[in-house]
Chains A and B, each alone.
Chain A
Amino acid sequence: MAILAVHDLSKSYKNHQVLDKIRFTIDSPGIWALVGPNGVGKTTFLNVVTNILPAASGTVELMGKSNKDPSVFKEVAFLQDNTVLFDYLSGYDHLKYICDVQKIYKQRIKEVAEYVGMEGYLKKTVGNYSLGMKQHLLLAMALINEPKLLLLDEPLNGLDPTSAILMRGILLELAEKGTTILLSSHNLAEIDRVTKQILFLKDGKLTEVDMNTFENTYYEFVLSNHGLAHRVLTEHEYDVEATSGGIRVQLDNEQLDNVIDLIKGEGIHILDIQKEITGSEKLYKEIFSGVNT
């Protein structure tokens, strides 16, 4: 049974074909990122997948059931944008309603609120929430039924760095526990940190890319002698560039040991090392060149 199976899914608005006979299947748990510029149809795709919007043609199966069957949402959750929230209700009211519909015990409200870090304002009216607080509530609403498939539309919108880190941690933890996650996002740096499986949406078509084949790993070293280290590594044909705080070297994982040995061999002290993985951004530019992002 596929976790998510999309067959020839099409959707158009007037003359504009947003989704064009998309075929796509997720068979095993993991994190997938849906990427594309504004207006390309990411939200439409998720809305059609969850049957919020009717498809012009094609079928969607979630956890082996048609997306037209409301009971699929016992195992599937969709984090939408914050316009779905009721400003005059509290976060607790929202969660309690979902508990009632999902027939979940009320204790779960407290658990999930603590999990996403919103227990401090759970009983406040949503109208008084900040953008980040609303995002926390939406996440809590999406997680309360412990879904097997979690769809997220721009989950990082409005999150401060702390919340973004928390969100990333939660997504990775869920994936580790076996939840399948499909998220759309503009934040390519964040995507790089959570998944290598990217779905580019362009001209109504989905292109699945394994970023492992495109990604570059950089290490930024803060050293006691940057000039010497730069010269030594260049001599050994490493791709090195000077940065404001140190040097940046492109490496494969197995090369790190050698580089550290070379640096230490010259009597240079390593004060700090930071790893940076890039790839989606470059590929994004290649795929969507000429598209207004």
Chain B
Amino acid sequence: MKYFLFECKKMLKKKSIWIAMILSVVAIAGFYFFNYSVADRVHQTRMLDLENSQIDIPEKLAQDRIDLEEAKKAGDSAKVLDIERGIAIYEKMLEDKTFQWDNIISGNWAAISEWQFEQLNNLVQISISQNYIAHSIMDQQVSMFTMRASAEERKLVAELGVEPFVQWDYYIPYHPTMYDKHDGKVLEMWERSTKRYGKQGFYFLYQVIPAFIIPFIILIGCFVFGNNVSSEATKKKRGMNLYAVLPLKRRQLFFAKYLSGLLFTLSFVLIIFCVPLIASLFTSGVGSLQYPVLIYDGPVESPFGFETIILNEWTDAFQFITIGQYFSTVLLMTAVLIVFMFSIYYLLSLFIKNPTVNAAILLIGTFFGMTVLPKTAYNPFTYVDIHRVVNREFAVAGFNEAITVGNGLMVLGAIGVIAIVLCYLRFRRYVVE
């Protein structure tokens, strides 16, 4: 234990480590505040639109009513009908916008979400009744699955009564899903309108996790804390030779060094996770841990008793878990992913002394493993994309029920342990030349 504590003390006394820590904390805090400012701008744009509509629409209605009177006087019945229809639409629009404005101002998010649910549910019901998807963007239909999932999500958010993610399209706030199949200009419009911004701490984390921020933070952690052998075995720094002339077993030294590096990497990732949560206390708060997170369940059992291997946007199942459950699973997978990545990095560092080269090899290797190797249950790099494993996107899209969190923990853990053993075997014969 004393050896381990000494290694920890060494880490804590290195200025370079503190600089790396501070820079990382500043970077993630900066990212949070930048994201918050974008989210706030989107929200302000919405509020401005609602505010302007309180002036513009009544003016438009007043003008239409004058035109209506004139059309009636002129006996132009077709025009009268047309204007009356227009007035009805604008009155409804004003009513909706006034409803939204009032509820947002009063913080009644349950009512807003309930209203959005009604819009989405209407589309779902219409689509089902006519057996044809009722909403298209420039001739490209919105996926029925997306429509159903979005409606369900909004219903849960309404029940929860919390402020939802900020989104450009607040009339029909779709939850983007893997069933979306847009392309070209529509894809661009779709991505913009469904992009979600988390102002609250937990929501921000949920927003950035799919963008591979976890493996990226782990990689930085490995780069900073995974060199406690190689950095002491250079021509100018030969601290390893000090241990060599002490009555200290190699095994004790290895585990003191390995575990201290691992502990600091774990702590580093945890601290980086906590930064947006702490920063959010100065803005919108951490958010609700009850917020719904979409989980894909895939094709339901066919009438013939076996599962189909075709996705069906009309019938495929889904469920929601809370964001709290989502984070607890993500944290568990993150811990095992850290063991996996750190052990691989540590092994590399016992062969190559340059941390930049090691980080590059790990980065390239991970990218290769994720993109080129098939997404199977036994490919450890499948589990680097924690979000898509937890929400079962990989399992459903690849029709591979073996891609689960449990298997991920086992595969990453097993390979991590193998890497630790290899590290130890290499360390036993490690010589500072």
CA distance A144 to B81 in the complex (A): 103
Name the one of A52, A71, A93 contacting B245, with C-beta atoms under 8 angstroms: A52
Q: Identify 25 residue pairs between A and B in the complex whose beta-carbon atoms are under 8 Å apart, listed by A's number.
A: A50-B244, A52-B241, A54-B431, A70-B248, A73-B248, A80-B241, A80-B242, A80-B245, A83-B235, A83-B238, A84-B238, A85-B239, A85-B242, A86-B232, A86-B239, A88-B13, A88-B15, A89-B13, A93-B13, A101-B246, A101-B247, A101-B248, A102-B246, A102-B247, A141-B242
A-facing residues in B334-376 (Cβ within 8 Å): none
CA distance A27 to B244 in the complex (A): 25
Q: Is A182 an interface residue (CB 8 A)?
A: no
Q: Is A2 an interface residue (CB 8 A)?
A: no
CB distance from A8 to the nearest CB of B (A): 21
Q: Is B237 an interface residue (CB 8 A)?
A: yes
- Most A CB atoms within 10 A — which of B246, B248, B432? B246
Q: Is B212 an interface residue (CB 8 A)?
A: no
Contact flags (1/0) for A25-54 with B, using CB distance below 8 Å? 000000000000000000000010011111
For B236, the chain A residues whose CB sits under 8 A away are 83
For B249, the chain A residues whose CB sits under 8 A away are 70
CA distance A85 to B238 in the complex (A): 8
CA distance A200 to B334 in the complex (A): 59
Let me know if B246 and A98 touch, CB within 8 A.
Answer: yes
User: CB within 8 Å of A: which residues of B?
Assistant: 2-3, 6, 9-10, 13-15, 232, 235-239, 241-242, 244-250, 431-433
Q: Is A286 an interface residue (CB 8 A)?
A: no
CA distance A3 to B414 in the complex (A): 47
For B15, the chain A residues whose CB sits under 8 A away are 88
B-facing residues in A156-214 (Cβ within 8 Å): none
For B14, the chain A residues whose CB sits under 8 A away are 88
For B237, the chain A residues whose CB sits under 8 A away are 83
CA distance A86 to B236 in the complex (A): 11
Q: A88-B13, A100-B2, A100-B6 are in contact. Are A50 and B239 (CB under 8 A)?
A: no
- Most B CB atoms within 10 A — which of A71, A76, A88, A89? A88
**A54: nearest chain-B partner, CB-CB:** B431
Please classify how large the interface on chain A is, using the bins under 10, 10 to 19, 20 to 34, 35 or more.
20 to 34
CA distance A51 to B9 in the complex (A): 27
For B9, the chain A residues whose CB sits under 8 A away are 89, 93
User: CB within 8 Å of B: which residues of A?
Assistant: 47, 50-54, 70-74, 76-78, 80-81, 83-86, 88-89, 93, 97-98, 100-102, 141
Name the one of A52, A74, A97, A102 contacting B6, with C-beta atoms under 8 angstroms: A97
CB distance from B412 to the nearest CB of A (A): 33
CA distance A81 to B239 in the complex (A): 10
Name the one of A51, A80, A86, A101 contacting B3, with C-beta atoms under 8 angstroms: A101
CA distance A76 to B244 in the complex (A): 12
**A79: nearest chain-B partner, CB-CB:** B245
For A86, the chain B residues whose CB sits under 8 A away are 10, 232, 239
Let me know if B245 and A78 touch, CB within 8 A.
Answer: yes
For B241, the chain A residues whose CB sits under 8 A away are 47, 52, 80, 83-84
CA distance A81 to B236 in the complex (A): 10
CA distance A78 to B248 in the complex (A): 14
**Beyond A73-B247, A80-B241, A97-B6, 4 extra complex contacts between A and B, CB < 8 Å:** A52-B244, A52-B431, A86-B239, A93-B13
**A83: nearest chain-B partner, CB-CB:** B238
For B250, the chain A residues whose CB sits under 8 A away are 70
Q: A54-B431, A73-B247, A100-B2 are in contact. Are A84 and B242 (CB under 8 A)?
A: yes
For B10, the chain A residues whose CB sits under 8 A away are 86, 88-89
CB distance from A142 to the nearest CB of B (A): 9
For A101, the chain B residues whose CB sits under 8 A away are 2-3, 246-248
**A101: nearest chain-B partner, CB-CB:** B246
**Ranked 10 nearest A-B pairs via Cβ:** A84-B242, A78-B245, A83-B238, A100-B2, A88-B13, A73-B247, A52-B244, A101-B246, A74-B247, A84-B241
For A52, the chain B residues whose CB sits under 8 A away are 241, 244-245, 431-432
**B429: nearest chain-A partner, CB-CB:** A54
For A141, the chain B residues whose CB sits under 8 A away are 242
CA distance A81 to B237 in the complex (A): 10
- Most B CB atoms within 10 A — which of A53, A70, A80? A70
- Most B CB atoms within 10 A — which of A71, A80, A101? A101
CB distance from A67 to the nearest CB of B (A): 10
For A89, the chain B residues whose CB sits under 8 A away are 9-10, 13
